[in-house]
Structure 1
Amino acid sequence: MRTLSRLLIPAAALTVLLVWLWLTPPGLLGKADALGYAVCHRIDERSFHFDDGRQTPLCARCSGMYLGAVLGLIFLQWTNPRRSGFPRREVWIPLAVFAAAFAFDGANSYFYLMKSVIPGRLDWIPTFYLPNNTLRLFTGSGMGLGIAALLYPAFNQSVWRQAPASPILSGWKQPALLLALMAAADLLVLTDWDIIIAPLATISAGGVLLVLTLVYSMAWLIFMRQENAFDTWSELGLPLLAGMTIALLQVTVIDLFRLWLTGTWGAFPLG
């Protein structure tokens, strides 16, 4: 079975990659758009824009969420390599606040949009404040850090033969530093400078594939009964490739279905 996997997984990965590259818009930002297209509504007025008017691959909220997830995963790998313990309560409290803010701002923004699409139908639901992309970015970033705080130890618990059980983000210095880095990244996005937005937008779109790859790699290990069987990253090459293949296949299927449904690589038509 494992010998067969070594042959089939690379072939499947190459096939899915070539099909996706062929079907999706050209250029690096075109491919980033296709990644965002699979998970995000991409409504123009809820997205950041380049100087030429082109919108970013993800809306403001999703940009923050996936940028936060990527930053969180990199930070945890740098400061807490292979740790498999979930954060302590003092860390979960602010993460829970971030999740609540994400949900509240998202609901407020959603109902504000629906009131403009179907006037008079939802007037009984209050609008607590006018939604804006700055709030979407920051609440999305907080949610992204929460995703990283869950995904990183779960991945380590599933993969490594020996993983320290100590919790990630111990003490107060590491969480404070991570929050400061996230705030700095968000402020950079708000500069509206193409030279800054372009790489950050590409990273956030790549975060879609990264998060899905890690999730599907764990699922693959469970399916193949290979949990906790690895000691080095080089040994993980095949499971990670399998996870990425499944992730990209999912993105491709959603892309094609949405394109067939809407006829556009842009936002969902409203009204």
Structure 2
Amino acid sequence: MLAFIIRALGGLCHQLPAHSLSPYGQALPLCARCTGMHVAGASALLYLALARRKSQRCGLPDGPAALMLLAFMVLWALDGSNSLLHLLSGWAIYQPSNALRLFTGAGMGLTLGLSLYPTLRLVFKPIDTTCTQPVASRLVSLVGPCLAAAGGLLVIVLLPWVGVRDVLLFTAALTLLAAANGLLVTIALERWVSLRARWFWPLGVGVALAQMSVLAWLRSMMGA
């Protein structure tokens, strides 16, 4: 099972040991950037699902919070480009580090989590008159998701059991990818509203697993 998990995650990440966190001397199956993104994104989704379950704050982020999330996206893109430049040419605008990869990845994960939650809620509650406010508008409203993301990352780093860490990373990555694919499925099933919620996760997970497997196979064929 662990071999499948590592191989499947290879479809999403280059898995370079030098770019990965190595708690207890064992490199994680995702690089620091992907670890931050997937764990923070899944942790933010879990936090919002629990804390905002009966809240009116379930719309897309706006105001200063949305600007901060946009800044996280820009930092993720810039740091990723700088790291890629260093990998390909040996030159970079600034020295890449796993700390920066983890931070920018976590910022991108928060952006994904806070953007996916409102759209997921719309799928499962298409007529929700209680949803009248954004899930985050002021900067202080990002504190909860940020703490959840930090907690999730601490769990991954501090857990001494390699197998458990790998399963948690796989679950986090699969959750985000399945949610994104599930949204595409709901668009395709727009006329069948009653089926959208029922088949959202089964189809989302199925498509996500297929994507990960195909990408991992292509990577192995290219010898990467």
TM category (shorter chain) comes to 0.7 to 0.9
Tell me which of 101, 119, 129 is aligned to 1:154. Answer: 119
Task: Report if the CA contact (8 A) 2:11-2:216 is conserved.
Answer: yes
1:105 aligns to 2:79 (yes or no): yes
* Structure 2 unmatched runs, 5+: none
Residues 12-36 of structure 1 deviation map (CA, whole Å, 9 limit, x = unaligned): xxxxxxxxxxxxxxx33x2331232
Task: Report if the CA contact (8 A) 1:47-1:55 is conserved.
Answer: yes
Alignment-derived partner of residue 241 in structure 1: 202
What secondary structure sits across from 2:48 in the alignment?
helix
Task: Report if the CA contact (8 A) 1:138-1:186 is conserved.
Answer: no
In 2: Cα distance, 1:136 partner to 1:197 partner: 21
Task: Report if the CA contact (8 A) 1:84-1:168 is conserved.
Answer: yes
Task: Report if the CA contact (8 A) 2:9-2:170 is conserved.
Answer: yes
1:55 aligns to 2:27 (yes or no): yes
Alignment-derived partner of residue 147 in structure 2: 180
Residues 223-249 of structure 1 deviation map (CA, whole Å, 9 limit, x = unaligned): 22356548xxxx934332122111111
In 2: Cα distance, 1:44 partner to 1:146 partner: 26
1:144 aligns to 2:112 (yes or no): no
Tell me which of 99, 121, 134 is aligned to 1:167. Answer: 134
- AA paired with 2:215? I
In 2: Cα distance, 1:160 partner to 1:35 partner: 32
Identity of aligned residues (%): 25
Q: How big is the shift at 1:70?
A: 0.4
Alignment-derived partner of residue 49 in structure 2: 77
Say if 1:188 and 1:240 are closer, same or farther in 2 by CA, change over 3 A. Answer: closer
TM-score, length of structure 2 as denominator length: 0.84
Q: How big is the shift at 1:198?
A: 5.8
Alignment-derived partner of residue 60 in structure 2: 86
* Structure 1 segment 7-26 matched on structure 2, within 5 A: none
Bigger Cα displacement from structure 2, 58-67 vs 176-185: 176-185
Residues 193-220 of structure 1 deviation map (CA, whole Å, 9 limit, x = unaligned): 4527764553232222112211222222
Larger radius of gyration: 1
User: RMSD value over aligned CA atoms?
Assistant: 2.6
Task: Report if the CA contact (8 A) 1:158-1:227 is conserved.
Answer: no
* Structure 1 segment 206-245 matched on structure 2, within 5 A: 206-226=171-191, 229=194, 236-245=197-206
Q: How big is the shift at 1:158?
A: 3.0
Task: Report if the CA contact (8 A) 1:160-1:229 is conserved.
Answer: no
Q: How big is the shift at 1:184?
A: 4.4
Say if 1:199 and 1:171 are closer, same or farther in 2 by CA, change over 3 A. Answer: farther
Tell me which of 10, 15, 21 is aligned to 1:42. Answer: 15
Task: Report if the CA contact (8 A) 1:159-1:229 is conserved.
Answer: no
What secondary structure sits across from 2:201 in the alignment?
helix
1:64 aligns to 2:36 (yes or no): yes
Task: Report if the CA contact (8 A) 1:141-1:182 is conserved.
Answer: yes
Residues 121-175 of structure 1 deviation map (CA, whole Å, 9 limit, x = unaligned): xx6xxx3321111111111001000011111112222332333242113555441
In 2: Cα distance, 1:196 partner to 1:181 partner: 21
Task: Report if the CA contact (8 A) 1:88-1:167 is conserved.
Answer: yes
TM-score, length of structure 1 as denominator length: 0.71
Task: Report if the CA contact (8 A) 2:6-2:166 is conserved.
Answer: no
Task: Report if the CA contact (8 A) 2:5-2:167 is conserved.
Answer: yes
